[in-house]
Each structure stands twice: as structure tokens, then as C-alpha cells.
Amino acid sequence: MDGSTGMAEGRPAASPQRTRGAATVSAELRDGHPRLGRLRQEGSLKVLLPTQAPGAALEAVLLNTSGGLTGGDRLRVAAQAGPGARLVVSTQAAERVYRSSGGMAEVEAALTVGLGGRLDWLPQETILYDGAALDRRLTLDVAPGARALLVEPVILGRRAMGERVRSATFRDRWDIRQDGRLVFADRLRIEGETWGKLESPGTLDGAGAWASLLLLSPEAPSLLGRLRSLLPTTAGASVVREGVLFARILAEDGFRLRQALVPAAELLAGGPLPKVWRL
């Protein structure tokens, strides 16, 4: 025995395995009903297609089989509602982003809606744990006369279990285009010293969860009053330009966020959220 550990001298340690996942799903109108157009799934990202009533929107449920994300993981989603078709995209569960040992987890969603179509992007919560690092980007391109609803809830740790996020990196970018023209952009970046300032009324005012909602529809202005009547005092909503309604909700924790978010999202969606939200 020479005391060797079995690792070749001078050989670098193997890099941790990283999650890679990609999914493409589209809906198209055939015989007056939304039908599956294209479906592709790779790596850890799977697409489930629940049975729907005749004439109802095509529903796609995303599932990340890796059980969560950490530094270096990458997920890509492309979803399209073709002309006249309606597509609803949700997730089977909340997406957990764990402490990073190096690098950023990256999540990208590219959404498109054809003439007269509608796409509802309704993922469940993203939960950021202490030390997490997430870079997220969402792009939406809609044709004239198309409609879209975007909902993105975020929770900082699990407060019911005494968890607090003291340090993490979160970058979130939205770019919304209508007929090729940028009509809305949102940038959120929390990292470094910013975490020490989140108790300020000018930032999160101590909130442990928030959600962003955007409705792109000619009916947006007519829904503003009803939406505001549903929202708590820790939320705000405005029609930021013609046909574009944006709202943000702050809440103490994930439970209270859902209490405010679900009625608001159902109003903008024109009906109940996908069943996975109620499981």
C-alpha cells in the first residue's frame, strides 16, 4: 500500500454535474379548437399536457425533474400561441433555487403570440434560498390583436421554518414587444449590499414575497378598477400605456402572497388558474 487516494496526481477534480433542460411547445388553431402544434423536450425539463374540455385552451405544465436549481444550471423554454389559438403554460410545482457553489443558474423564457392568439404564462413560485444565484430573462413578442398574461411570483426562503435570505443574487429581466416594438421593459436586480436595504419602505419594506403581473390586452384599462379593489395596500397597479396593465404585489410570506395573487390573476385570466395551482 502506498497511501494513494486513487486520484491521479495533478488531475483536477471533476466538475459538479449541472442541470440542462429545454422545452418547446406551441398551440395552433385547427377546426376551431386549440391543438398541439409542436412539442420538444430535452434534459431535465419535461412538458405535461393535461386533458382539457373541448374548445378550452391548450394547457402545458412544465416539470423540472432535477428538483431545483443551483449555480451553473440552465433551463430554456420557448412557448408559442399561433394565430387565433390560446395556450396556458404553468409549472407542476414551485421552482427552488438553492445555494450556489459558483456561477449563476440561468432561466430563459421566450414567448410569442400570433395574430388574435392568447398566451397565459402562469408558473408557480420561484423560491430563493440563502446564497442562491439566479439570472432570469423573459421575452414576449405579440402580433397585433394578440393578448398575453404574465404572472411571476417570488418567495425569499421559507419564513414559516425560520429561514431568512441574507445574501443572494437575483437578476430578472422582462422585454415585451408588440408588432416588433418595445412596449414594456422591467429590470430587477438584488445582490450584494442591496440585501441589507430590503427593510426600507423604498424597497421591499421587509416583504418576504412578491409577484409581478402584466396583462397585454385591449381590455386592460377596463379591468384596472376591479383589480385594484382586489389588491392589498402593499400592492399597486397601473395601465402603463395603451393596452398594457402592470401590477406588483408585496406580501409578508408565500401564503399571504397567494391569498392576494390568485384572485388578481384569475380576474386577468378571465377564469380559474390551472389545477396545478390548487394541488
φ and ψ at 149, to 5 degrees?
Answer: -130, 130
Instruction: Report the pLDDT value the prediction gives residue 160, as an integer from 0 to 100.
Output: 65
Query: What is the SS3 assignment for 148?
Result: strand
Beta bridge partners of 173: 137, 187
Q: What's residue 9's pLDDT?
A: 55
pLDDT of residue 10: 57
Q: Determine the pLDDT at residue 191.
A: 87
pLDDT averaged per 10 residues in sequence order, the chain, 279 residues: 48 67 97 94 97 90 95 97 98 95 95 98 96 96 97 87 80 97 95 75 84 98 98 97 96 95 98 92
Cα 170 from Cα 100, distance rounded (Å): 12
User: Is the pTM here over 0.75, yes or no?
Assistant: yes
Amino acid identity, position 102: G
SS3 content of the chain, % helix, strand, coil (to 5): 15, 50, 40
Residue 279's pLDDT is: 75
Residue 257 burial by Cβ neighbours in a 10 Å radius (0-12, 13-18, 19+): buried
**What DSSP string describes 15-38?**
PPP--EEEEEEEEEEETTEEEEEE
